[in-house]
Structure 1
Amino acid sequence: MNKRMNSKTGYLLIHGFGGNINEVAPLADFLKEGGYIVLCPVLKGHTGKRSDLSKYSYQDWILSVKNSYDELSISCEEIYMVGFSMGGLIALELSSQLSVNAIVTLNTPIYFWDFKNILLYIFHDIKNLKLNNTIRYIQSCTSFPIKSLINFRLLLFNTKRSLSNVKCPLLIIQSLKDDAVKAISANYIYEHVSSEDTNIKFYNESGHLILWSKAANNVIKDIYAFFEDVNTLDKYI
């Protein structure tokens, strides 16, 4: 991508449940190098502390992103959203209410915990005498407050009901080796949105943290190409 100032184009990158902005950092860095305005809001309560996460609801998480959207809309004529995991649910929910030029979802859950892939990763741990994945699964089951898990489910429930109101161009990206999100989630989103320009792209070379995987460079290129196509199309409408 050639460097240039794109002061009227803004990108809103949204991290996942229990995560942080590092999950979308590779894409943010790429876009900033191109001169784009990029905001990566930290969802309320996502400080890394269990006690902080439990203080906020899914409405607060949405508001975190809405505030950044409002900030972008002051100076940007075009706003694009990229949501990783639960961040994709927030992007879809907000796009059903606000003016968004296009969305990309990355490993966004409708159905979660792919036990086939989980077993494969645990087998990999046993084979290599390591417990990296196994420890991660245990932490995932014990580190999140029940209240926060309920709010995640409420966000998922409400977003599913709003999918038919999503009408902007949409690229759905899903890892086939994702252990946290079942790949059929991508198909569900594709089938229930009202966007006329909707695409799905699957990747074999990555797990859940797709922007930190071997496929990351290709994923970033595909995201940028999608937004460029949308931008070109908008100019002819």
Structure 2
Amino acid sequence: MSIGCLCIHGYTGSPEEVQPLADFLSGRTTWEISNPTLPGHGEELDLQGHYYQEWIATAELALLDLLERNDTIVIIGFSMGGMIAAYLTAKYRINRLVLLSAAGKYVSLPQMYKDIYEMFADAWKGALASNELFTRYQRKLQQTYLFSTFEFMKCVQFTRPYLKQVRCPVLIIQGELDGMVPKKTAEFLDEEIPAEEKELVFLKNSKHLICHGDDKDELFDTVLEFLD
């Protein structure tokens, strides 16, 4: 039996948001893992003129490509990518779904600014990892267009009704310290999704970038156990 795993990153993000988890799974399984870049996204953003339909279509094409070679498909979606993942799960026969910090409610931009300044403070203390995150988020905010933010909101509005059509086993993971997608969002997803097999996990020391957080080892083990 061959297994394909599709990873979908978040709004203003890049595959790097979920790459640590993808690398972990790649090193411990024989799965075919796909981690595409959504149009206008990546380390250098070019969001102007891109529509949410393009983001969904890109993820869907990557899924169809995996389906050509694999009997079993699992999807991991982070933030906005989690909502796209739920939509694809409702539309296709997906075996298991993992939602990481999924944006069932809108992302809080003021919280993003707050996190940036906290990262900056950590960087002054010599925390190089936080300095890297600070640089990444600072660049995001400078390159994000208001038009694209509305497209993000449209994407969440379009995909949200499909939560009620997700029937396969679902793992929902949320950071306790995530202010951009707060704890109540994970609880909302748990209530909306009618799948009989569901697991809701909160990581005590994680913020929004959950695959890069202090609990990443626990996250990776939990995801592998659920998917395997």
Q: Which residue of 1 aligns with 2:31?
A: 36
State the Cα distance separating 1:221 from its structure 2 match.
0.4
Deviations 1:148-174 (A, max 9, x none): 111100011112222111111111000
Mapped contact 1:108–1:186 kept (Cα < 8 A): yes
Q: Output the TM-score relative to the length of structure 1.
A: 0.83
Please tell me the residue identity of whatever aligns with 1:13. Answer: C
Deviations 1:74-119 (A, max 9, x none): 1100000001111101101111111110110111122332968976
Q: What letter corresponds to residue 216 of structure 1 in structure 2?
A: K
Separation of aligned partners in 2, 1:148 and 1:116: 18
1:60: which partner in 2? 54
Q: 1:85 to 1:123 in 2, by over 3 A?
A: closer
**Higher mean C-alpha deviation, range 28-37 or range 80-89:** 28-37
CA contact (8 A) 1:117 1:178 kept: no
Aligned to 1:11: 5
Q: Which amino acid is the alignment partner of residue 143 of structure 1? A: Q
Aligned residues: 221
Kept in 1: contact 2:116–2:137 (CA 8 A): no
Q: Write the mapping of 1:170-209 to structure 2, written as runs, cut at 5 A.
A: 170-209=170-209
Partner residue, 1:21: 15
Distance 1:127 1:65 in 2: 35
Instruction: Tell me the residue number matched to 1:145.
Output: 145
In the other structure, the counterpart of 2:226 is 226
CA distance in 2, matches of 1:117, 1:144: 13
Q: 1:116 to 1:85 in 2, by over 3 A?
A: closer
Whole-angstrom CA distance in 1 between matches of 2:73 and 2:123: 45
**CA deviations over 1:33-79 (Å, ceiling 9, x no partner):** 222110111111214444x3122211110111111111111110000
Which runs of no fewer than 5 residues in structure 2 stay unpaired? none
1:233 counterpart residue number: none
**Percent identity over the alignment?**
29
Q: Secondary structure at the match of 1:69?
A: helix
Q: 1:147 Cα deviation (Å)?
A: 1.7
State the one-letter code of the partner of 2:22.
A
Tell whether the 8 Å contact from 2:15 to 2:42 is kept in structure 1 after alignment.
no
Matched residue type, 1:40: N
Which residue does 1:159 correspond to in 2?
A: 159
TM-score for the superposition, normalised by structure 2? 0.86
Q: Amino acid of the residue matched to residue 45 of structure 1?
A: G
How far apart, in 2, do the equivalents of 1:134 and 1:8 lie?
A: 39
Q: Would you say the 8 A contact 2:177–2:204 is kept in 1? A: yes
User: Secondary structure of 1:53's match?
Assistant: coil
